[in-house]
Chains A and B, each alone.
Chain A
């Protein structure tokens, strides 16, 4: 198991120090334990979905995988090598697209290729090919503000795929989209995944989305985040199934995950509440977590 793992997350911890107290002199550094002893093995070419209540540390985990931050303890291996920093072997897709507004769709997709040192000519051709892969041929010269949310997310996906990372990290990529667009993009993502064979780690709040997309679904506890259970989703080729969502097995799995998640969600809500109260008591709002959307 260990040997064939694409990504191994072993005993990973992460804590943030949050300054509290109303007066600067009284400020004491208080750690917020975001992740506690995370263990997860992701196989080559696997579609792994992570679900968990708001504020449980999902984005924190993804930042660690991207190499944007370092774990406080434990290690993360990619092909058996410890991750030392950001690299083009991993691509991230964010919920808020993170497209460069001063670049056209095409130039946005070219951005990672440029960072990779690909020549101008080849860059253009590759970018064009990936824009077509995500079904946006004809829109390459539009600026992000001229595209709909769904189109922007397609471009963001094309940008991450274009530089050919081995692993695609996706942080609630479809959460800001309307239901129809989301369903379309979900099945397109599956198509792209099947076509490219990438390893995907996909974070979501949506249980249905998790069951529909994932080969396995990891459920996290409320903060400090741990992996509570990993559930196998045994459907073959999801796209061929006519209406997978009403399949009784699908419904059963969805319910099982919901059962696992619901205590964690209420605990997370308790945490948020007490944190807000704390912040009131100390006359200063705490770190960002309290105000984050769900």
Chain B
């Protein structure tokens, strides 16, 4: 009997290797079809009329001119007279037309009158916080106050992160089509299996009659779990008109309403002994996720065992688009606030930051992992040669510095079901309703299945992205790889065991002495007693077999795990005359248990580092304080890092004994947590002052340098 447990290192042919993604070629050649690429004869194009104000009351909506335009299939009010607008970008009306151009013309022709109000846009000051929204954790105020008063070294710092958006390359939206009374949907989603359930009211159909297909998607980062209001509008119009309908958000609306990471600001009083042992962390945090809440931050982050902790948390409601989970919700913010404050504390103690972090690792949950990772990262970046105390960075206007940050994440596998089918002709397919966000999920499922069956990767047909397949969880919380690798291992193992039952008599050994290896079914370790895979499969007769697998696995074997740590170090230069920050080198060391595909794992970390450089240096949603409009709802002034901006990136994945046997753990979120903190710390180390708020744009850097008397 083949077992679910992951094979030992010497029995892994594919797992842990650097393997290119299965869908690389179709993506690189443009053959991969995204929701955006769907077209059908007679289809309708939809444009959404959105509110241009942060706070307003709708006085009237006049759709008559739009309706009169030839080619307009319909105009619908999505809001009504008297309704309140609470953020720019809210959908007021919808137009559908036979061409994109007509839809746009009709879109312009819809006239909405507003009574404009003064929006609340400022989240940077604590005074704007909603007093009702309290999440304070004050164990014993007097003790914390005393610990701070008694601390030999102390800081009183302010830190922050501006709001950013998800800015997915592929905008949100979907294509819908009616056929034989059912509705077929091609969405951009990170939640294939549960997507249809969100459309039942709009489509007037049960979920069983709504069929979802998402083979490729251009990023979600936590913003594409729900079918959303626009998905519902698209389904409704398709049902109502009987026509195929395309509704993808325009870039401006995408940036305003389709996902935002809440801002975060904090005042921190932290203290340590003079030899650098942290004794107290006292924080007041606030932030804004639009008109909803922004949960307080889990600070001190990673160093959760600091003896004296107080958290005061407040929420600021602003007239901005609603927040959504953004890759590791809350963590990048908590990380910046904590690591920057601790780095300031190290500087106040006149200590090397690495020494300071090492000294306090006992205040974390995984000191041994962090110690090992810190040492590797230090070697990779040349810490010993480059390190200097804060601000001690030589003459000339351009200063160089190093910064450190550490982070953590859970990442246990989600629920998942999977079918693995072996056909009598030897072909193999594996099916599950998961999705590949571009991370390599399709490839991972293929690798696990092929490894389990002793086949080359190309022999496995991977079927994902449709809700007709066994349900799999949404891709969030870094749970996908743990979930799908468990269920596909389980399914392939069960299928293999069914096959082994058929083959065992011909090899004259009990089933438990057989294995699938190198394209054969053989007696364990003895290729001379074997049959080829094709021969083995022909013994199935005329009927294919399907092994069912799941997470949790059918025999209870735990193939996944939870809890990872990572270290990142940045080497930056700061031009102290212009406030420009450039990245020289940026290294990441990350553990995530047993790695299925080293190449896509590393890619995941590289991608996160680039995203991290972006939010550390450039990215920020900027709103007009009077109208509440997002002013940079485009990709011109909503700046993302380009290749020339990211410096030299280096990634090291922790593998081997101590890591592999933990099982598979997710990686989507952890590596994007530390970049802001590592880069901010490097900037402080270089120029001698803390630039409190991300992104570290020239205006902010110059202001901090000026305040610190360091402007060249």
Q: Is B a genuine binding partner of A?
A: no
Q: Contact residues of A with B, CB < 8 Å? A: none
